[in-house]
Amino acid sequence: MSVFTAILIGLASGIVFGFALEKSRVFEPGVILGQMQLRNFIMLKIFLAAVVTGLLALAVLNGLFGIKLHLKPLLFKADIIGGLILGVGIALSGACPGTSMAQAGAGYRDALFVILGGIAGAITYGYLDAPITAAFAEPGAKVSFDTMLGMPFWLTAVLLAAILVAFLAALERMTSWRTEIGSDVDGLMAPKDADVPAGKTHHA
Amino acid sequence: MPALNDRAWSPYVAGVVIGLLQIPTFYFMNTALGASSSFVTVGAHIATLFDSTAANVKYFASHMYGAKNWWQVAIVVGIALGAFLSMKMSGARRQTISPVWNRALGQSTLGARAPIAFLGGFIMLFGARIAGGCTSGHGISGIAQLSAGSTLAVAAMFAGGIATAMLMRRI
């Protein structure tokens, strides 16, 4: 495929992606920080809804049409240490790499600094990649839950999707996304409501 | 029905739309949805402006050219465009910085926010490149492929994020 075609496909997918990120409000620092403080679950809701859809789409693409999956290898040290560092960055940025771009598009100016910092971090990593990869080296097999369970991919994917849907239904029953989204759709609930002790919350 | 000029969609509708993007991605691009390696592609080209030997760094060289690398750069540029269009259509214009930063860290100006934003972005991408993916590549795509490594990386992301956010003021 030519780079030009790839860029057109990327732009089209990205515009849909950015549109959905903006509409869902998951790009809001208030939503992301609220998730990390375990008081706003919109981020988990959209994340798991995307995972469920992906599971079902891939169950069909892989199970019916034989389209190849692209698993990343299981690297305990790199996954845990890298994941922890990434999480610290997500909390300080109020963004993840994709949503920082949505923040910039929606008008948050500090997102430009997150993006510049991200580019600087990526450049720094690039220079240090050889020693870091050597330090964290592991055989790194491509381990997946379906092979661990000895079940077909499509069946495991459909079962996990069903479990996640049940979990999402319970999560939504606990707190509706309409409450969590806040009056200015930025994930911020009124401070006095947010500070009411758990036992005294009322359901509107 | 969700409309294009709504200020907010249900997270379930938006999540389904994002999940469906795996179909063209696997079908046309023969890869999974991701975002963080685009920062390496752009960063590698910027590095060559300051360091004439940067293109010899293996990690940079593997991210600088080709359809998949530029496809992902187009994805993140598209994300900014899509979010801009969506905001324009709904009129949900945002202030310079989110009011959450005043609540969480007492930062109410861009000047106060910028250093932490830059540092946060730096740490975020540095960690993502160690882990080999971010919320998109490991999260949305990795778990949808039942990857054990991606699930572990996502658990670590949330652990790091929760530990850090809990040190801030409650929002």
pLDDT in tens, B57-90: 999 999 999 999 999 999 999 999 999 999 999 9
Q: What is the pTM of this model?
A: 0.94
Considering CB atoms only, which of A37, A68, A90 is closest to B157? A90
Q: With bands split at pLDDT 50, 70 and 90, how would you rate the model's confidence at B114?
A: very high
At how many degrees (to 10) do helices B67-90 and A3-24 cross? 40
CA of B58, closest CA in chain A: separation in Å?
8
Q: Which residues of A touch B71 (CB under 8 A)?
A: 6-7, 9-10
Residue A161 neighbours by CB distance under 10 Å? 19
Provide the pLDDT for residue A190.
76
For A55, name the nearest residue in chain B, comparing CA atoms only. B144
B-chain residue closest to A31, CA distance: B100
Q: What is the pLDDT of residue B1?
A: 80
Write out the two tokens for A48.
């798991």
Contacts of A136 in chain B (CB under 8 A): 130
Phi (first) and psi of residue A144, to 5 degrees:
-135, 155
> Which pLDDT score is estimated for A204?
42
pLDDT at A59 over 60: yes
**pLDDT tens figures, B1-22:** 889 999 999 999 999 999 999 9
- As a whole number, the mean pLDDT across chain A is 93
Question: Residue B121 is nearest to which of A93, A148, A160, comparing CB atoms?
Answer: A93
pLDDT-derived band at A86 (thresholds 50, 70, 90) equals very high
d(CA A21, CA A77): 31
B118 with A117: Cβ contact below 8 A: yes
Closest chain B C-alpha to A72 CA, distance in angstroms: 7
Give yes or no for residue A201 having a pLDDT over 50. Answer: no
Q: If pLDDT is split at 50, 70 and 90, which confidence band does B52 have? A: very high
Residues of B in contact with A54 (CB under 8 A): 19, 22, 140-141, 143-145
Most B CBs within 10 A among A5, A72, A164, hence the mutation to make, goes to A72
Model confidence pLDDT, tens digit, residues B116-166? 999 999 999 999 999 999 999 999 999 999 999 999 999 999 999 999 999
Q: What is the mean pLDDT of chain B?
A: 96
The Cα–Cα gap between B124 and B127 comes to 5
Helix axes B37-50, B67-90, angle to 10 degrees: 110
Phi, psi at A40, each rounded to 5°: -150, 120
Distance CA B134, CA A126 (A): 16
Which residue is associated with the tokens 């778990």? B143
Q: What is the pLDDT of residues A105-140, one digit of tens each?
A: 999 999 999 999 999 999 999 999 999 999 999 988
Cβ-defined contact of A20 to B170 (cutoff 8 Å): no
Predicted confidence band of residue A200 (pLDDT cuts 50, 70, 90): very low
Residue A87 to residue B156, Cβ atoms within 8 A: yes
From CA A31, how far away is CA A94, in angstroms rounded?
Answer: 8
Q: How far apart are CA A30 and CA A53, in angstroms?
A: 25
H or E segment and range at residue B87: helix B67-90
A91·B161 Cβ contact <8 A: yes
Query: Residue B147: beta bridge partners?
Result: A144
B3 Cβ neighbours under 8 A, 6+ residues apart: none
Judge whether B156 and A87 are in contact, CB under 8 Å: yes
Q: Mean of the pLDDT values across residues A56-85?
A: 96
Task: Look at residue A195 in the predicted model and tell me its pLDDT.
Answer: 52
In A64-194, alpha helices (H): 76-93, 97-106, 110-135, 145-149, 153-174, 177-180, 191-194
State the sign of the Cα–Cα–Cα–Cα dihedral A143, A147, A153, A159: negative
- In angstroms, rounded to a whole number, what is the distance separating the alpha carbons of residues B92 and A133? 43
Contact check, Cβ <8 Å, A37/B162:
yes
Of B37, B79, B96, B166, which to mutate for an interface test with A (greatest number of A Cβ within 10 Å)?
B79
